[in-house]
Structure 1
Amino acid sequence: MGVFSISAALAAGEKKGYFADNDVHVTLEQVESAEQQFRDFDAGNYDVLQTSWDNVVNYRCNASNDLGRTLNVLADFALDLGMGLSVISPPEITSLEAVRGGEVAVDAPNSGYAYVLYSILEKAGLRRDADYTVVSSGSVAERYRKMTDGYAAATLLSDGLEVLAGQQGMNNLADESALGLPYVGSVAAWNGDWYDENRDTALRFREAYEAALAWALEPNNRDEAADLIANARDLHAPDARRVLDAELGPWGLARDTDITDETARAVIGLRKQYNGFDADPAVNPYGDLSAFFVNSGA
C-alpha cells in the first residue's frame, strides 16, 4: 500500500493485528509524491493506495496526466476528510495577502490538494499564475521539511504537520473550512484489475481497517494510539499527541468510511473550476460516478 502518511488507524491495523487477524497481509510504504505513487501503482508495485479522491479522478479521466494515459484506478472507501488541510507560511508571511508575488509549494500543480490551496487563495483575492507562482515540491512530509527552511511563501500541510509547523514558528493562514464545501480527502483506491481478481481480500481489508479505525477512535486507547503514531512516523511523544489530536479533529479521520455523492462532487467541482479536465476525458466526471468506484457508486 503506497501511503503519504501513516494514520493512527493504519498503524493500528498493522501493529495491533487487525489486518493479520482478518487474513490480509499489508505492507505500508511511504511515497514521495503523487507522481511517484502512481508511477509505482502503474508498474504493479502497489495494489492499493492511500491517495486523494482527486488523484483517482485525475488518473481515471485525464490522459494528460504525467503518465500520459489513464489508469484503471478505483476508489473504495474514505480514509479522511482532508486531515486539516491548512495554508502554512514562514514566520514573515502573516496573511494570505502577503503571499502575493511569492512561490506556493504543492505536490503537483494539477493533482491532489493543490486545488484546495488555489481556492483558498482565490477567496483572498489571489489568482493562480497571476498573483503567485506554483512550484512542485513533493509530498506533504517533504513540503514540511522544506518549509522549515523558508522554502516558499506558502504551502498546504495536513495530518498534524500543520500543527508541528506552528511549533516551528510558522503561521497557519487558513484551513479547509474556508472552502465552505463538504470535502473528502484520502481514500483507499485499488487497481481495478487486481480488485476484480481479489475482491474477497479487498473486502477483508476494508473490514479490518474499519475495526482498526474504531480502536483508534476509542478515547481509552488514546495513549497507545499516540505511541503507534510516534513509532510509525518517528516523532517525539508530544508531537505524536498533537498529530493524533489533528486526526481526531473535525477534518481528520473519516468516521463514516462511505464516500458520499456530495463530497465526491465537491472535489470534482474544484478540479473543474481550475480547468483540471481534458477536453475529452476518458470517463465523464459530471454524470453518474459509478465508473470511479469499485462498488458501482458513491
Structure 2
Amino acid sequence: MSLQNSLELICFPGAPNLPIFAALELGYFKDVGLDVHLETTPSSVYQIENLVKGQFQIAGTAFDNVVAYKEGQGAISFDVSPDLVAFMGATHIELSLIVAPEIQTYDDIKGRSIALDALATGFAFVLYDMIEKAGLSIEDCELAPVGATPKRWESVRSGDHVGTLTIEPFTSIALANGFRVLQTSVDTVPNYQGGVFAASSSWAENNPEIIRGFMKGYLAGLKWTLDSGNYEAAKDILLAKMPAIQPRVANAVMKKLLNPITGLTPNGSLDFQGIDTVLKLRSRYATPSMQLTNHSKYINESFFEEPNKPD
C-alpha cells in the first residue's frame, strides 16, 4: 500500500477518539500507508449523510446508527437505503444522564426539556428505556434534537435544557461544573454495543486493503493507549487534542475510557450480546416498527483477521 492512499474519517467528538489521536500522532497510520484525515461531526445526520455521499469513507459512529439508516428508520431518508456495515467495534460506551443541579429524581424532569442528538437515532432509545424503567413515560418529557454531545452539553450548561446523555469527557466536565448524573446506561443496559467503525459495504469490499490498513493502524493506537506504561503520554495527547478537557478532570476521563465496561473495547471486537441489546431497543421504539434480530445484516467481520492485529 503506497502513501498515496488518503482516507477521510468522520467520528463523533469525544475521548473514545484517543486511539485515533495516538495512531495519528505516533505514525501508525503512516506505517501502513494511509494518510488519514479526521473530522468530528456536529450530528449523526451530518455524519451519515456525508458518509453515504462518499465525502467520508469510514465513520466512527453508534452501532444503532448503522441499523437505523439501513432499515430506513433514520432521522433523514434516502432514495436507496444505505448499504452501511460495521466492521470493527470501538466502545462499550457509558451514557450518563447529566442533569441540572436542581434535578434530584426522575420526577423532576416531568414537563422539562431533554436534549438529544436526534429523536430516532443514536442513543435516544437508551434514554427512552431509562425513563420508562424509572416509571415515567416518554411523553412526560419534552425531547429536543440538538446534535452531538458538545452541543447538547452546552445547551444544558446554558439552561436551554435540563438534561442530556453524555459520554466522556463531557460527563466529567459537567460534574466538575456542578451538574449531576441522574443515572447511567450501565445501570439499565449493562451490555450495549456503543461505538463501531462503519463504511459503505460496497466501498469496503472494493477497498479491502485500505480497510485492513485502517484497522491495523487503529489497533496499534488502541494497544498503545491501553498500555499502562503510556498513561501519562496518552493523557497528554488527549488534553492536546481536546482542549475543552480541564486538566483537573483528565484522570476521571481516562479512568472511564480505559475501563472496557464503560470505554474502549480491547482488540476492537464486536459484542454480539451488546448488538442484541441495540436491536431489541430499536425493535421496541423505532418507526416503522419491525423486529430486528439478524446480526449479519449489519456487520462484516471478514476484514478482522489475526494478521491485522498489532504485534
1:33 and 2:33 equivalent? no
How far is the alpha carbon of 1:204 from its aligned partner?
1.5
- Which one of 30, 47, 51 corresponds to residue 20 of structure 1? 30
Q: Deviations over 1:206-264 (max 9, x none)?
A: 12211111110111111111111111112343333332222113311111422132111
Q: Distance in 1 between matches of 2:204 and 2:212?
A: 10
Q: Distance in 1 between matches of 2:194 and 2:73?
A: 22
How far is the alpha carbon of 1:133 from its aligned partner?
1.2
- Which one of 104, 107, 119 corresponds to residue 109 of structure 1? 119
Q: Distance in 1 between matches of 2:149 and 2:69?
A: 20
**Cα pair 2:112 2:142 within 8 Å, conserved:** yes
**Cα pair 1:121 1:127 within 8 Å, conserved:** yes
State the superposition RMSD in angstroms.
1.9
- Which one of 115, 121, 124 corresponds to residue 131 of structure 2? 121
Q: Which residue number in structure 2 is paired with residue 293 of structure 1?
A: 299
- Give 1:128-207 correspondences, 5 Å limit: 128=138, 130-207=139-216
- Which one of 260, 268, 278 corresponds to residue 257 of structure 1? 268
Q: Which residue number in structure 1 is paired with residue 242 of structure 2?
A: 233
Q: Which residue number in structure 1 is paired with residue 11 of structure 2?
A: 3
Q: Distance in 2 between matches of 1:126 and 1:58?
A: 25
SS in 1 for 2:144: strand
Q: Distance in 2 between matches of 1:277 and 1:58?
A: 10
Q: Deviations over 1:111-132 (max 9, x none)?
A: 011111111111111111x211
How far is the alpha carbon of 1:286 from its aligned partner?
1.9
Q: Which residue number in structure 2 is paired with residue 67 of structure 1?
A: 77
- Which one of 232, 241, 257 corresponds to residue 223 of structure 1? 232
Q: Distance in 2 between matches of 1:216 and 1:201?
A: 22
Amino acid at match of 2:236: D
**Cα pair 1:85 1:175 within 8 Å, conserved:** yes
Q: Distance in 2 between matches of 1:229 and 1:27?
A: 17
Q: Distance in 2 between matches of 1:56 and 1:100?
A: 31
**Cα pair 2:208 2:303 within 8 Å, conserved:** no
Amino acid at match of 1:233: M
**Cα pair 1:181 1:266 within 8 Å, conserved:** no
Contiguous gaps of at least 5 residues in structure 2:
1-8, 305-311
**Cα pair 2:73 2:120 within 8 Å, conserved:** no
How far is the alpha carbon of 1:277 from its aligned partner?
4.3
**Cα pair 2:131 2:137 within 8 Å, conserved:** yes
- Which one of 45, 57, 61 corresponds to residue 51 of structure 1? 61
Q: Deviations over 1:129-182 (max 9, x none)?
A: x21111001101111122111221211001221111000110101001121441
**Cα pair 1:226 1:237 within 8 Å, conserved:** no
Q: Distance in 2 between matches of 1:155 and 1:236?
A: 20
Alignment size in residue pairs: 291
* Paired-residue identity, %: 25
Q: Distance in 2 between matches of 1:253 and 1:64?
A: 26
Q: Which moved more, 1:16-25 or 1:58-67?
A: 58-67
Amino acid at match of 1:14: L
Contiguous gaps of at least 5 residues in structure 1:
none
Q: Distance in 1 between matches of 2:201 and 2:142?
A: 36
Q: Which residue number in structure 2 is paired with residue 77 of structure 1?
A: 88
Q: Distance in 2 between matches of 1:139 and 1:145?
A: 10
